[in-house]
Amino acid sequence: MNSIHMSAECYPVAKVGGLADVVGALPKYQNKLGKKTGVVMPFYDNKFTQQNSFRTDHNSRVNLGDTSYDVEVLQLISNDLGYPLYTVKIPGLLDREHVYGYEDDTERFVAFQKATLDWILQFENKPEIVHCHDYHVGLIPFMMSKAHKYESLKNIPTILTIHNAQYQGQFSFEKLHYFPAYDLSHSGLLEWDQHINPLAAAVKSTWAVTTVSPSYLIELRSAANGLEWLLDNEKEKSIGILNGIDTDVWNPATDPMISKNFNRRNIVSGKRNNKNYLCHKFNLDPNKPLFAFIGRLVGEKGAELLPDIFKKTLENQTTDASILVLGSGDPTVEEALESLHTTHKGNYNTFIGYDEQLSHIIYAGADFLVMPSRVEPCGLNQMYSLRYGTIPIVRSIGGLKDTITDIQEENGFGICHEHTTVEDATQAIERACELYRDQTRFKKIRKQIMQIDHSWDSAASNYIELYQQLIEK
């Protein structure tokens, strides 16, 4: 392989958020462009691993202090993903159902990183690039460049892609003994705010830093959960590359998950069929504009404001809308969203949890997608919605700012607002309802957005170009 992607998530193996979608698509498109690349991730005991076959590529052991664990690197036998997939199985640590949320997550991911580097050590042909995604693999660049055991890997360029800088994986220096031996004078590379900070360590140690949109790169210099100075200081080796979407998976003309397939030519009947399915399933009126939210119910998404946003919208007689929510997260927000159903039956409904097929049908059937995010490094949901002819309503931040142009602008096609507030979001929904009433313009915009190209082709090429620049250094 020319390059290896390292990540805690990869669709369709294990998905929590957009990180999985990126890692599941980027290597596929890089391989299409002739850059041989694969993915290595932890082995989880989940539906995907239970239903697919793997072969053993490597066996070893890994130490965390005085505790030793068996390691088995398994390769997916099927080539359906479009790239080789390797999973690192560590019984007792990684072989669990969920990706995150365990008290020993620090131990889990440190062990995964050490085991992965041990595996690479025995390669006859070493990779030309090691591409790390988020803090879960943020210690890789440090260990490759400073740990004695991995000295033979120190000249391999590493890249860190920051998908979300809010999560950094900090832990105490009391766990320093988990690390392979290195010159302790380099400990400053690990430290940030008196803790070992994997994301900060990666920014300091890696050859290049990328963010998932150009605007997010700029925003991080003033809002990075404590790493603002560091990211500003390292701006010379940083670049923003806008994520793409996998247009093979997200294609309304071929998507097996939606109620009826469609393209630009039959968008009216196709969207209507999927909308009717949703409205029948969730007791909504298909004659009203259908607004949807899909995502994690967390502060970054402005989720705690959603109950008030939707309550105000539903009580506003001029909007006369239907609303559907798919997501999970903060229990308080979940409860508040569910409680709206009792007072607004027939106009509002929720699905608390996550359902991949349902998300596809919502993109296909909804008229508008609501994204009042406080933080949105790139955002993929708005790109999916464009692909399916669903008009995004977004706060102008991060990747949302880079991908959505307001209808008040020339050739605009979305609804944008400046702040994550109830007032701004409800006003944006009111504007969307006005657009919906102008069916001629509404239908024209739906056709327009379906031909916007956000495939991975361009981004994959940009990454390959960056790889080559680093190799030639």
pLDDT one-digit tens code per residue, 137-149: 999 999 999 999 9
Mean pLDDT of 57-71: 96
- CA separation for the pair 365, 274 (Å, rounded): 4
pLDDT at 9: 98
Percent of the chain whose pLDDT exceeds 70:
100
Kindly list the distances between the CA atom of residue 284 and the CA atoms of 120, 174, 289, 334, in Å, as whole numbers in the listed order.
54, 55, 10, 20
The token pair at 415 is 């609804």
pLDDT for residue 305 is more than 90: yes
The token pair at 13 is 């193996």
pLDDT at 354: 87
pLDDT at 153: 98
Q: To which residue do tokens 């949320």 refer?
A: 101
210 touches 164 (CB < 8 A)? no
Please report how many Cα atoms fall inside a 13 Å half-sphere around the Cα of residue 391, on the Cβ side: 28
Residues of the chain with CATH 3.40.50.2000: 3-245+457-472, 267-454
369 touches 292 (CB < 8 A)? yes
Looking at residue 231, its amino acid is: L
In 77-220, beta strands by DSSP E: 85-89, 129-133, 158-162, 191-192, 195-196, 208-211
pLDDT tens per residue across span 195-226: 999 999 999 999 999 999 999 999 999 999 99
357 touches 257 (CB < 8 A)? yes
The angle that helices 267-282 and 439-450 make with each other, rounded to 10 degrees, is: 100
**What does CATH list as the number for 3-245+457-472?**
3.40.50.2000
Give residues with Cβ within 8 angstroms of 306, minimum separation 6: 293, 297, 325, 333, 337, 370, 372
pLDDT for residue 1 is more than 80: no
The token pair at 406 is 């307001």
How confident is the prediction for the chain on average, in pLDDT? 96
* 46-49, long-range: CB < 8 A, 24+ apart: 46/13, 46/14, 46/97, 48/12, 48/13, 48/14, 49/13, 49/87
Rg (CA), the chain: 23
Give residues with Cβ within 8 angstroms of 287, minimum separation 6: none
pLDDT at 430: 97
Helix (H, G, I), strand (E, B) or coil at 165: coil
pLDDT at 17: 85
The token pair at 3 is 């390059």
The model carries a pTM of 0.89
Q: How many Cβ atoms sit within 10 Å of the Cβ of residue 280?
A: 11
pLDDT for residue 318 is more than 90: no
Name the CATH topology of 267-454: Rossmann fold (3.40.50)
**Core vs surface per residue 20-52: b (16+ CB within 10 A) or e:** bbbbbbbbbbbbeeebebbbbbbbbebebbeee
The token pair at 267 is 């968008």
pLDDT at 371: 98
Q: Which helix (H) or strand (E) holds 341?
A: helix 331-343
Q: To which residue do tokens 């949890």 refer?
A: 353
pLDDT for residue 360 is more than 80: yes
In 180-242, beta strands by DSSP E: 191-192, 195-196, 208-211, 238-240
